[in-house]
Amino acid sequence: MDDLPVRGDEPPGGTAALPPVTRTLLETARRRGRHPAIIELTPLGPAPGSGAGHAPGPSALGYSELATVITTAARGLARRGARPGDVVAVLAERGMDELIAVHTALAAGCCAQPLDPAAPLRRTAAALTRSDARLLLTGRGAADTALAAAESSRVRQVVAFGEVPATTPFRDLLLGGPAPAAGGAAPVRAVLDHPRAELSHDDLAERLAKLAVSAPVEASDVLLATRTGLAFTLLTTLALSRGATVVSARGHVPAQLAGAVRRFGVTAADHPETAARSRFGAVRLCDPEPPIDEPQAP
């Protein structure tokens, strides 16, 4: 992750005002301290002079830093006008960026709307217009789409991980300073997964409880996550709430991940082919049925 200046600020309204799922994740983060929370693998590219894939070293974020970034950035969102119940859209290629963005939105009392970075621009802009999102969090790889979609919707501010022209750097959310006091009724909506589902905070907690039974993850696990959207949000939130380490491997196909399985001691994976191909010990599948990225609309 970028070298971000972080402070120990509480989220708007204090920890007690957090949604239960976010509060559990942050409490676990503070207990786990410097234990690795999420490791981001860089998508593979062609190695010079060969047909093999290669990538620079992965970036990593520990639990204590994760908690500090989320709570401090939540205050930054509030300073920039985000209010409880507002929709904060997330369009990110990197799993680490998406995870931080979604939980920053939830910690600020907002409704997170994770979007598919591979979706056509027209669909992304339509989703933003339909949700009436006014703020969009993005990353370098998806910034062009994010800016174009913002122009075709009611989004007023685009915040980006890294230095991206015409955006507000995410690091600016972490500079500290007072946040407006949170007020009004507690927001009902937690996650929008258009067009399939709209999850309340109770729905989100219930979905995670079911996932914990069908795809259990423990603190000793290392979860290899390759999926996107709501599936990624649920699986990684469950894993981090339990104190496990998440290895985000978007942009990789299962055949390319044997080295990562061995290097990081992966014990669970969200793709059946990844688990089946493992030659370096047992890797169990965390992919419940019915698929968690295809929820039924209420």
Give the chain's domain count.
Answer: 1
Residue 254 pLDDT: 74
**Containing domain of residue 248, as a range?**
15-44+53-177+187-285
Residue 66, in any domain of the structure: yes
Residue 4, in any domain of the structure: no
Per-residue model confidence as pLDDT tens for the chain (298 residues): 444 444 455 656 556 678 889 999 999 999 999 999 999 997 654 433 434 443 445 799 999 999 999 999 999 999 999 999 999 999 999 999 999 999 999 999 999 999 998 899 999 999 999 999 999 999 989 999 999 999 999 999 999 998 899 999 999 999 876 555 554 445 678 887 755 578 888 899 999 999 999 889 999 999 999 888 888 889 999 999 999 999 999 878 777 788 888 899 999 998 877 766 665 557 888 874 544 444 444 4
What six digits make up the tokens of 229? Answer: 């959207």
- The CA distances from residue 68 to 39, 84, 129, 245, 276, in Å, are 17, 20, 31, 17, 37
Residue 229 pLDDT: 80
| 284, 238, 3, 262 alpha-carbon torsion, rounded to 10° | -10
Residue 151, in any domain of the structure: yes
Q: pTM to 2 decimals?
A: 0.85
Residue 120, in any domain of the structure: yes
Residue 194 pLDDT: 56
Residue 76, in any domain of the structure: yes
For residue 190, the surrounding DSSP H or E stretch is strand 189-193
Residue 293, in any domain of the structure: no
| 114, 120, 121, 127 alpha-carbon torsion, rounded to 10° | -40
Residue 69 pLDDT: 95
**What is d(CA 133, CA 89) in angstroms, rounded to the nearest whole number?**
6
What six digits make up the tokens of 21? Answer: 């799922």
Residue 156, in any domain of the structure: yes
CATH classification at residue 130: 3.40.50.12780
Q: Is 39 helix (H, G, I), strand (E, B) or coil?
A: strand
**What is d(CA 286, CA 270) in angstroms, rounded to the nearest whole number?**
5
Beta bridge partners of 36: 62
Residue 298, in any domain of the structure: no
